[in-house]
Amino acid sequence: MHDSEPAQNQRRGSKRLRWACVLPGALLAGWLLEHPRAIFDAQIGLDRQGSGYSAFIVPVLQSLPSGIAFAVAGTVIAPGFRPATAIVLAALCIPISTGIHIFAQPDPGLTNYMHSTGESLGALLGVAGVLIGTALSDPRNDKPSTND
């Protein structure tokens, strides 16, 4: 049975809308995880000042979730081509993060560079998660195991 032309047009419109929402959705997800992390980090003591730990490790760890959310949320919104979408979003996350944390700041310091690095690494981890999830859910991988 074939779908009616209005149903096909509605599906096409839905796909276009989802594609249009990929980047805004990714930006929103990354932004939503950017602000609560400071409160959480202060609660668990990750804001130790004056140590190499606080200068290098903490900013990277703080920014990882934002990068992961950026890549994964945008990929989930996309109607198809999820591995390619995750890679493109990670490629976009790096200059966006660099622009926000380094070029948009009047006097960027080490913390800004570490936040940019953390978000970029997070986006790459998000891509890895999407690729692993896609590989594990691919129907071609549902073949019976020969090792039994």
The verdict on residue 9 lying in a domain is no
Residue 1 lies in a domain: no
The residue segments making up the domain with residue 54 are: 18-136
Total of domains in the chain = 1
4 vs 1: CA distance, rounded Å: 9
Model confidence, pTM: 0.79
Q: Is residue 25 part of a domain?
A: yes
Instruction: Name residues whose C-beta falls within 8 Å of residue 101's C-beta, 6 or more positions apart in sequence.
Output: 108, 112, 113, 115, 116, 119
pLDDT tens, residue by residue, 27-66:
999 998 876 666 666 655 555 556 666 667 877 888 899 9
- Per the domain annotation, does 50 fall within a domain? yes
Asked if the structure places residue 7 within a domain, the reply is no
23 within some domain: yes
Q: Output the six-digit token pair for 21.
A: 């929402």
In a domain, 8, yes or no: no
Instruction: State the chain's mean pLDDT as an integer.
Output: 83
Q: Collect the ranges in the chain with pLDDT lower than 70.
A: 1-3, 35-55, 138-148
